[in-house]
Structure 1
Amino acid sequence: MISNPSRGSLPLLFLGLGFAVLMGMAAALGRPAFLAPFVGLIGLLVLFVIPARLAFWSILVVSMVLVGPVMYFAKLDSARWVPPLLTLALYVPLAAFVLRPKKPTMDAGWPLWLFILAMFVVVAVCSTALSSPMVGEVAVASRAYFAFWSVALALAVGMLGPRDMALAWKALLVCAVIQLPVALYQYLVVAKASSRLSPWDAVVGTFPGNMEGGGASHGMGIFLLIAMAAVLSLWRTRQIHRGLAILVLLSILGSLGLSEVKAAVLLVPVVFALVYYRELLQRPALSVGAVLISVALMGTLLLVYENTFYANRGMTLSGKMPTSPLEAVKNQLNPEEVHSRSEGGGVVVSRAARMADWWQRSVRYGDPFHALLGYGIGATQISSIGTGELVRQFPYPLDMTSTNVLLWETGVIGHVLLMAVLVLAGMNCAGSARSPLVPVEHKALLEAAAAGLMIYAITLPYSNFALRAAPSQFLMVFMLGYSAYWWRVVRLGSLIRAAGPALAPQDGSENNTKTDMARKHATPRYLHG
């Protein structure tokens, strides 16, 4: 027997019945467009109740493991939209979390880089509004400029706790190991069957790409470097088993050896230096040993590249066979390296030549507005939804590097602001790692995040993965949110210590229940444990 519904549930019951009737009437009309508002409303309601942990892990798994293989093996390019749509959807539970009623607590404040990030978004919006943007190109560019920041903000406000963040780092190390078997298949099967001059470009691991034209191998290489920094930091603080650390490091080196990512290999000593910089004065022997090991690894990988990738195949920008990977790097640093492509047509332009071209058009010829603010987001983007206004004006792609994208779309101001965000957040990580309030495991991971954010900053002129590849975008915002979370923890601890006399008992007793309760309520709930 069904009991009578309570008075409070009757309005909800009638509302649900009315919604179902209207949705049924819309479906009966046979027009899918009429159902769109109802589906969107249902999706919006689901977003308000979805657990933050589920949303975060969905974004991590889809971005790092699923979207790349779907694009690569299933040749479904539209799959690149899934991670940004998930991160855009995260703004809904994020807003609900921030706006929910809370007990008065002591405010920890926010790191400076978050305000600089807000300035970066404002510059991008203003630059776009002043450049008569097209809807399509703005929609495409939103994947890089607006979507993924929700992950950083969600971590910063405490939607996830330290345990989830530590588990996320471990999941990233698992992803680093997964790169090896995937890269091995791509090298032995896909690349061997390719007739391109550089078939090894098809080795991208689980990062986005395609079998014929390559993909985000640069992003995979930088991700492996950050995973290497995490393993070294955990190993140094004895937070990881030696055998597991060796397994992860060997997997990383194997993937780097198969993918031919020269810049990533050249940055191996930089990773070691960023991880072991504190031992430079305290334990110089260890520092020297670490540097020697890193240089040996770099030299070994470059030797493998020379004997494997440059012995029989490969072309420099001038159309001649390169003799070594270092010669290929030298060509990219030559501002005069421009030649017509014999394979597929078009023009091949070195990274330095692209920068020189921007300087000549925007600065030398006197275009201060576009030099400072750019042409608006999406101006360099090539997409079936919307192509940027600058694409047809140049014989070569403008979005080869993040620096090129930022300079053309947001100008010098936008580029400087984003670089400042990465550098300041990295410095915050290094500072938080020295605090006694941070557990040892997270101290090690903060040092890895500091190294990773610095690497992102210095590789903006190298490739476009920070703004184009979903796994790289997720990794960047994850480290930024991780930095903000622990900065707030350390900052709040300092404020509580500074407020100690105000919270101290007047009678001089050390164990005072009221004082302990005051300290507890001065700390936001998400910062406990």
Structure 2
Amino acid sequence: MRIAVLVAAVFCFSALVGLVAAFGSVKVAVLVAAAVFGSAMLALPTQLLFSGLFFLSFLLVGQLFYFGGFGQAVWISFGLGGLLFAKWILAWFDSSQSRRLSVLGALAGLFLFSVVFSAVINLSPVLQAVAGGKNLVGLWGVFLVLGAGLVATTTVRRIWKSFFWILLFQVPVVVYQYFVVAPSRTRFGSTTGGVEWDAVVGGFGGDPDGGGYSGGMAFFVCVAVAFAVACYRRGLIGAFRLWVAVAAGLVSVGLAEVKVVVVLVPVAAIVMLAPHIKRRPLIVMLGIPVALVAGVLVLFAYESLHYGNSGTTTNGGPAEIVERAFSYSLDPEHINYRTREMGRVAALKLWWQEHSLSEPGEWLFGHGPGASRGNSIVGAGEAARRYPFLIDRSAATQLLWDVGIIGFLAYMSACMIGALKAAKLASTPGLDKVDAAILESSAAGLAMLVIMMFYGRDPLEAPAVSVLIMLMLGYVVFQDRRCVARVG
């Protein structure tokens, strides 16, 4: 066994050295060194790798990307995710591990199979498949080791409790980006005043001149605040800490101008309040309309804060403001040829128009991992090169182009079923209060994720967001297994 591992290591090292020679790039050389070093990290305990992946993804990778200009830093997270994947494979051969396959596990297997199968039948170029496939596969290792029970519950609880401090960490970063980076940014885009506030992304990374993962930051903020609310309702934190979390969230999403929050907040409110409709109907009946009103007020704040000095009118009622905020996203014909950016609905419409059931191959299985990527270290994908604009407008369109309707439905089904299971498990009698709060906020987070998949590419490309998604899905599987074991 050791000889086989040594031979495999030598083969991989030789291949990586060949890549360095072919590209002659310092960045590629750094990636090779990281890959070799990462292989040695397999000897580290799963717990340590898991915790390291989480904190590096949330606190280091985004800063290297945004402030250091090192976009390839995302490979740190995806590489560590690959190590966790390997840890799960090794644990699978341990007879003490449960072989029970959950619904979420089956959907995850179907999605991963669709990625590999799509690469094989499309004969995807190796570099394109690796560059695009890492986003689709790399961080599923987090889901697998969590679901298999290879990570202690105390570690998971500690990570969720750290969300409060990571939320506070966003505030000074966002303030600096809004007042220092954004005003100096090159102005471009379809709006009169430019889109300089796209540079406000918190600690989630991106290009200060080209925009970043502000949507991912907003998604995390909503999940973190939902967790704070769930903890408060169970007496785990006091009112002061709850309001500090809410205030930090408002500052972060307010300065970043992320309109999807208008939809995310009501979705989270509905998911978290719905289970209590029998016991507290009045609170539920009041809470959901309040969340909707809060969303509209956020739009009013954006109109005043971001558009007040841009030449764009801030007059009009709520209906007009909502239309102005979302019209370009919902316009099925919107394409900005200067920025090469499509509207969200326009991108979905293009995919539908370009695929037909009469040729089911690409409709079912896609064009291969990375085919839709407009920008990559190895160049544009094979499908992306056909168009003068970027077709990978959102995570949903990426999945449809890359792995087809089968992979897309597997991923989306995992999100929706995960949300339903999390909500059900959160009310399990005798469940630890922290675990119940984690599951309740995971239900809200996975429900919001369904919206996020159509908003931007962050769920697949932003390491911190991908880690958060797998953290929620994996813990649902783990708690589901524990529940079944208790019943058994």
Indicate the residue corresponding to 1:193 in structure 2.
184
Give the match for residue 486 of structure 1: 479
Aligned-pair identity in percent equals: 28
Structure 1: runs of 5 or more not aligned: 1-11, 16-21, 23-31, 317-322, 496-529
Aligned residue pairs total 452
Q: How many Å apart are 1:172 and its aligned residue?
A: 2.2
Q: What amino acid maps onto 1:243 in structure 2?
A: F
1:121 equivalent in alignment to 2:116: no
- The structural deviation recorded for 1:46 is 4.2
- Of 248, 252, 265, 1:251 maps to 248
Contact 2:181 2:199 in 1 (8 A): yes
Bigger radius of gyration among the two: 1
Q: Is residue 399–residue 408 contact of structure 2 (8 Å, CA) maintained in 1?
A: yes
Cα 1:361/1:108, change in 2 over 3 Å: closer
Aligned to 1:384: 377
Displacement of 1:259 in angstroms is: 0.5
Aligned to 1:412: 405
Q: Does 1:88 align with 2:82?
A: yes
Instruction: Summarize the alignment of residues 372-521 of structure 1 with structure 2, pairs less than 5 Å apart.
Output: 372-381=364-373, 382-495=375-488
Question: How many Å separate the matches in 2 of 1:116 and 1:334?
Answer: 32
Q: From the superposition, tell whether residues 42 and 275 of structure 1 become closer, same or farther in structure 2 (CA, over 3 Å).
A: closer
On the 8 A contact 2:51/2:155 being kept in 1, the answer is no
Change in CA separation of 1:79 and 1:436 when aligned onto 2, cut-off 3 Å: same
Superposed CA RMSD in Å reads 2.8
Q: CA deviation at 1:289?
A: 3.2
- CA displacement at 1:204 relative to structure 2: 0.1
Deviates more, 1:452-461 or 1:486-495: 452-461
Shift of 1:339: 4.5
After the TM superposition, which residues 125-274 of structure 1 pair with which residues of structure 2 at under 5 Å, given as runs? 125-196=116-187, 197-274=194-271
- Structure 2 CA distance for partners of 1:244 and 1:39, relative to 1, 3 Å: closer
Deviation string 1:433-461 (CA, Å, 9 cap, x unpaired) is 12224212211210111111111123211
Give the whole-Å Cα distance in 2 for the aligned partners of 1:371 and 1:75: 37
Moved more, 472-481 or 272-281: 272-281
- Indicate which of 63, 67, 70 corresponds to 2:57: 63
- Counterpart-to-counterpart distance in 1, 2:391 and 2:277: 41
CA distance in 1, matches of 2:114, 2:340: 32
1:387 deviates by 3.0
Q: Report the TM-score, using the length of structure 2 for normalisation.
A: 0.86
Displacement of 1:298 = 1.8
Q: 2:359 aligns with which of 359, 363, 367?
A: 367
Q: Letter of the aligned partner of 1:428 in structure 2?
A: K
**For residue 367 of structure 1, what is the amino acid of its counterpart?**
E
Offset of 1:336 from its aligned partner? 2.1
Moved over 6 A (4+): 36-42
Is the 1:108–1:492 Cα contact (8 Å) retained in structure 2? no
Secondary structure of 2:144's counterpart equals: helix
Q: 1:191 to 1:134 in 2, by over 3 A?
A: same
* 3-state SS of paired residue (1:276): helix
Pair 1:369–1:42, CA change in 2 (3 A): closer
Distance 1:39 1:177 in 2: 30
Q: Which moved more, 1:459-468 or 1:197-206?
A: 459-468
**Structure-1 separation of matches of 2:340 and 2:247:** 38
TM-score (norm 1): 0.80
Q: C-alpha distance in 2, partners of 1:293/1:41?
A: 53
Name the residue aligned to 1:281. 278
Aligned partner of 1:526 in structure 2 is none
**Letter aligned with residue 138 of structure 1:** A
Q: Which runs of no fewer than 5 residues in structure 2 stay unpaired? A: 4-9, 11-19, 22-30, 188-193, 314-319
Give the Cα separation in 2 of the matches to 1:455 and 1:480.
13
Contact 1:180-1:205 at 8 Å conserved across structures: yes
Q: 1:486 to 1:363 in 2, by over 3 A?
A: same
Which residue number corresponds to residue 507 of structure 1? none
- Is 1:47 aligned to residue 39 of structure 2? no
SS at match of 2:274: coil
**CA distance in 2: counterparts of 1:261 and 1:46, whole angstroms:** 38
Q: After the TM superposition, which of the residue ranges 302-311 and 347-356 deviates more from structure 2?
A: 347-356
Cα distance change on mapping 1:215 and 1:99 into 2, 3 Å: same
| Cα distance in 2, alignment partners of residues 40 and 190 from structure 1 | 33
Q: Structure 1 residues 45 and 383, CA, compared in 2 at 3 Å: closer, same or farther?
A: closer
- The superposition leaves residues 363-414 of structure 1 with CA deviations (integer Å, 9 ceiling, x where unpaired) of 38x4322112111111012312253101210111121201110111111111
Distance 2:470 2:414 in 1: 11
